[in-house]
Amino acid sequence: MVFLDTIFIHTSPKPHHRQIRTTAQHGVVPQQQQQQPTVHSIFEPQTCTWQYIVADPSTKSALIIDSVLDFDPAKNQITTTTADALLALVKEKGYTVERILETHAHADHLTAAKYLQRQLQLSQGDEAKPQVCIGKRISEVQARFAARYGVPSEECEGAFDHVFEDDEVFKLGELEVKALHLPGHTPDHMGYLIGENVFCGDSIFNHDVGSARCDFPGGNADELYNSASKLFSLPDSHKIWTGHDYPPGTPTSGGRQDPVPYTTVGDQKQANKHLKSGTTREQFVEWRRARDAVLGEPRLLHQALQFNIRAGKLPGASTQERGGDRLLHLPVKVVGVEGW
């Protein structure tokens, strides 16, 4: 059997009040087909992020993809309710988490990778401490943003336990996972192919949403077109699990209003609003660049980048004479004058 669980975490205005709703679909995998993973998709509504727990059903070995910490920018406060829900699901299912994967250094949410690693080390034991992993080009991103925000180099060096080579293959229990380089949104961007499932992060979104922006440093619309073509070269029945969903419908206009974790390669090729079959490179690049030129920056851009190049480790504390605080730097933008 293969199980696909979708969990929606609904956050009320009061941060201590959360509801979780779970739905499941069941299907039989024919004997001649490759064994498929169990996929749990968990939606975090404040940042519209899909998080995933993926497990080998035969061994209960698991990995976590693109986890989220709760962050309130008005209070500069981190809480762990969303991450703790992941841990609770891992415990409920009896999984052993072997790796915590990032598709890229996110600019819209803070990763829970290091928090999860510590909690899982405590519950699973030191010998079963999961590795925090990302693609090898994270070093370029770390160098760029550490310099911009004044992050000490020692807080980035070795932050990730393993960096993947392009097309590197590793085992998850009895399953194989292949790390795919999918640049365009960011230069370090990776996807993870597991059986007939690819977890594509912020490369393409559901077909009625389209594609990810390419205007971050190192982003490139030409490369995103190539990455989409790589995804579209997979069999039509393969599932593309996306990193975010922004349902385009509204109560007044109708249309889809609930987040959806995946569509198929065939769906995407037929109907992706930015990249469907027949869209030329020139058409996509011209449209993507024009669209990106008018987008605002993500709400948590500066906090997220500083946190995520550290793999989610807390910043080092300042000296006791300066209060012993853990600090993130925010740029000050002066409008209309040159400064004084």
**Mean per-residue pLDDT of the chain:** 90
Nearest to 184 by CA among 139, 145, 232, 216: 216
238 vs 319, residue with greater confidence: 238
Is 313 within the bounds of a domain?
Answer: no
pLDDT at 16: 37
Is 46 within the bounds of a domain?
Answer: yes
Average confidence (pLDDT) over 21-27: 35
Is 211 within the bounds of a domain?
Answer: yes
* CATH code of 176's domain: 3.60.15.10
Q: Is the pLDDT of residue 17 over 70?
A: no
Q: What is the pLDDT of residues 246-258, one digit of tens each?
A: 999 989 888 899 9
156 and 313 in contact (C-beta within 8 Å)?
Answer: no
What is the extent of the structural domain holding 212?
Answer: 2-295
Tally the domains of the chain.
1
Q: What is the pLDDT of residues 171-215, one digit of tens each?
A: 999 999 999 999 999 999 999 999 999 999 999 999 999 999 999
Q: Which of 110-114, 162-166, 246-250 has the lowest mean pLDDT?
A: 246-250
Model pTM above 0.75: yes
Is 229 within the bounds of a domain?
Answer: yes
